[in-house]
Structure 1
């Protein structure tokens, strides 16, 4: 079912986002610019976003936002999207400038004096602005959150130039605010990179004794109702400061809500970059709406859709695929992964869901799942198996295989998943993608013990870094089992049964409900998804499989179809009709000239799998054992990376069958499906 409420944030995708805005002072389409204060020849501006059909005769609630930047820098554009959202819901929303050190050679005290002036100006001009002077909220982030908090908690630094007009807001909306500026029992801000104590550093930036404008030191009864949004992983403004503030404020009889986010760092709430909302923007705006609704500033529920499950992470729009499915009535959807993808499980359910959503659409579904393969193989298969078909929507899963099949360390999990996502982003910038983390018993047990598995944790980091939406099915299943809502037997095991696959498909449906909950545009509103800096310079982001025929064969090597019936161990049907590059004579060699930064072998490693010796560019000989613990009864598909850190350019590799072999191997056989090159 599609949600009733529109995902308002997506309707703003055409508007430049904070993070791209370098213009100062900023300009906002549809906003009014006014001067709220003049100091010498410097005019302090406020930009006003009015609700639709707003009249001066109205008496609307208002909010003034103050940007972050350590009282040193920053831009009022930071809260443009928050203002646009709240204006759309009926509030008069404003983002204000104030003096900062980089532009005005001032310290925090002058910034606070300006914030006081801004609130007084709103009240003084309330009738002209169509604002209710008794419903004026203050909001802000980081240093701007500090200013907003000071307005409500700390005695004003300046006096009103207009009689008894108060600078105290009627409510506070604070995003990772700096609430502790001076030493407090059991609170530490840590040290800066140069080893200096952060309290000492803050004291040089305040202009008055730091304690004078430290909100936590001035808590008292009768404070304005407050909501605080804070990331638990924030190292700039430690989460403990918000926890302690909330504790002391509530003990004093005040309403103070704290919304926390487990993996969120400083600035997590911002709208985002590249025309896409940040991961936490929708949820924090929705919760801000709920708070303001509770105090009578807004009516009705949030006009922004959120996934029902907290383990569904909506990070980017899905405009491209929906445009193809609706406007063109054609669409290509690919599924890349291991056996969980290859089997008729969640993939078939998602396909059926898409066809039901878009009954007039002619779909092409690509099953690019290959049992037992990990994200490394996926990164090198991606170009031929997926990107060549130019899909509109791609689903990826490799967490289980990276864990139990490949036993990858975090580095390899990142290199493989980044190879997939970065390569896809580069080749098809408009491609919509979803990463799903499935689960096996060891991963489930770790999650139930409060430990994030290496594979799903690394894949989630990569997905978040590239703004790719994800489904943390592993965590969802572990939480449901711990809560007594599900058993592992009901889920169905590593290869889930129908109920387990249904959970995965329903979570994906939850994500798509959120992404497609607004009205259908005539054209995609964002030409492409945002890119990001490469996390690991050696990730397989230029992966490609070369055919074994590219090798220059020496004596003892043959390109043919093995007589699988005569060989020990089973072979999967998908490989049984392929020609492989095969060698089993010790010392048999081949060479390959290639261009790239990495090279590996995609092999079938069976009961007789041997070891290869290899030399790159005439360097020393190294060895790679091809035998795998699953090779004893199966010609097991795996990709072994021989070197991932070569200098970019042309190289030559020399491969030969080694005399050494695994103790459990019955021979020296090397059977190569493809040669993996990171170009």
Structure 2
């Protein structure tokens, strides 16, 4: 069996908040984690916290949005998780980042993790769900690249991780769950599949927040790494096994329990993420997207009928800069090495032509899948991520798209995000 649970640094901030009587859970990811269906895996996990810690006032900030990736998340984390006081954040992007280039998703994922760990920090747990493109690798006992790359970050930053997709696939292979009960549409679990994902998370939390507290901290002198054989309830009765080493990218060591206690990457300095004395390691990718900022609408210039409007259609967007006029123009200056634009997007959205620093004009061409409506998709378009660090200017002109699926000219800019 490949590793499902990877226990690294303790969830110190979570334990502290439980002791204080108030805990805020945070979730960020795609549609598999999105709160709106009300049957996804965070729901049983939230219920477990309420059951096991009834004395704690539990707050939930589920910032997951379907059809979005970690690139959009770096521009949302401060507003939707950090400023709302999330103490424990579950990150789920193995699936939604799958189709992105390796270099890009490496930059965005590490940027998100570094944002969450900055300052006073918080506990972060990586969770890996499933898509059919992972099937062949998993059936061959390998780790899909999208997951292996996240594990690299988990090891580097000492973050625990849970391979929920592996846990669910094991249930199918053991005959506990039918495939169609797990993934009725091939990707999105409903009640039974989401419960399987939740069970894997709950077992991780039982170990971290209940059983592991009876053991000495890993950074205390004489502390040992221990893994217990799995029982029906998830963990064993006390027989100790020496922990297996971290799995190599693409392979994992076999483990009777599916548990792994991995390297802290030399971070055993007596402190943990979420404590004031913990220092983040240097980034694996120096071009990560940790440092981002927004360009205020008030700093932009435009020609034509534009309006800054409070946005009531999507709770994730405070305001939009809006026009529906073909030929309307927009420009603004920014300082950094990259630029990304966030939109309320759909079939009725416009396209636009743009140029940077007076260069060649380019035309946006965004797909409009059958499932998308006229609006309502919080969508990111990366304009550039490899500019020379410094001042730049972008010019934009609204046009009607040439694709048949483009049915309107709504230009609804949620933000202009600068990558530093």
TM-score by length of 2: 0.75
The yes-or-no answer on 1:395 pairing with 2:90 is yes
CA offset digits 1:205-236 (Å, max 9, x no partner): xxxxxxxxxxxxxxxxxxxxxxxxxxxxxxxx
2:398 to 657, 664, 672: 657
1:410 to 102, 114, 119: 102
Matched, 1:460 2:144: no
Write 1 or 2 for the structure with the bigger share of helix. Answer: 1
Mapped to 2, the partners of 1:525 and 1:357 lie a distance apart of 26
Which residue matches 1:595?
Answer: 335
Q: Deviations over 1:649-672 (max 9, x none)?
A: 333222222466335323443221
Residue 6 of structure 2 corresponds to which residue in structure 1?
A: 313
Query: Which position in structure 1 is the counterpart of 2:31?
Result: 339
CA contact (8 A) 1:376 1:416 kept: yes
Residues 632 and 511 from structure 1, CA distance in 2 versus in 1: closer, same or farther, beyond 3 angstroms? closer
Q: Decide whether the 8 Å contact of 1:661 with 1:667 is kept in 2.
A: no
Q: RMSD across aligned C-alpha pairs, in angstroms?
A: 3.1
For 2:200 and 2:372, how far apart are their aligned partners in 1?
Answer: 37
Distance 1:551 1:380, change over 3 A: same
Consecutive aligned runs of 4 or more in structure 1 exceeding 6 Å deviation? none
* Aligned pairs (5 A) from 1:121-520: 310-326=3-19, 328-343=20-35, 344=38, 345-403=40-98, 407-429=99-121, 431-450=122-141, 452-493=143-184, 494-516=187-209, 517-519=212-214
Partners of 1:550 and 1:451 in 2: CA distance: 50
Give 2:224's aligned residue.
none
* Distance in 1 between residues matched to 2:142 and 2:53, nearest whole Å: 40
Alignment correspondent of 1:557: 306
Report the 3-state secondary structure (helix = DSSP H, G, I; strand = E; otherwise coil) of the residue aligned with 1:434.
strand
Q: What SS does the aligned partner of 1:652 have?
A: strand
CA contact (8 A) 1:315 1:468 kept: yes
The match for 1:637 is 378
Q: Report the alpha carbon displacement of residue 381 of structure 1 after superposing the two structures with TM.
A: 0.6
Q: CA deviation at 1:470?
A: 1.1
1:58-87 deviations in whole A, cap 9, x for unaligned? Answer: xxxxxxxxxxxxxxxxxxxxxxxxxxxxxx
Mapped to 1, the partners of 2:194 and 2:14 lie a distance apart of: 23
Gaps of 5+ in 2: 218-269
- Which structure has the greater CA radius of gyration? 1
Q: CA deviation at 1:477?
A: 2.5
Aligned to 1:616: 356
Equivalent pair of 2:164/2:201 in contact (CA under 8 Å)? no
Q: Structure 1's 361 and 377: CA in aligned 2 closer, same or farther, altered over 3 A? A: same
Q: Do 1:382 and 1:544's aligned partners in 2 also have CA atoms closer than 8 Å?
A: no
Q: Which residue of 1 aligns with 2:289?
A: 540
Q: Secondary structure at the match of 1:386?
A: helix
- CA shift, 1:362, in A, is 1.7
Instruction: Say which structure, 1 or 2, has more relative contact order (CA 8 Å, 6+ apart).
Output: 2
Matches within 5 A, 1:19-58: none
Deviations 1:293-352 (A, max 9, x none): xxxxxxxxxxxxxxxx831111211112101211x2222221112222223222122222
TM-score by length of 1: 0.48
Cα deviations across residues 335-373 of structure 1 (Å, max 9, x unaligned)?
112222223222122222222332222222112122221
Q: In the superposition, relative to structure 1, how do residues 554 and 621 fare at CA in structure 2: closer, same or farther (>3 Å)?
A: same
CA distance in 2, matches of 1:377, 1:323: 30
Aligned residues: 357
Q: Report if the CA contact (8 A) 1:548-1:672 is conserved.
A: no
- Taking the aligned partners of 2:21 and 2:135, their CA distance within structure 1 comes to 40
Distance in structure 2 (CA, Å) of the matches to 1:508 and 1:422: 23
- CA separation in 2, counterparts of 1:521 and 1:391? 26
CA distance in 1 between counterparts of 2:338 and 2:371 reads 25
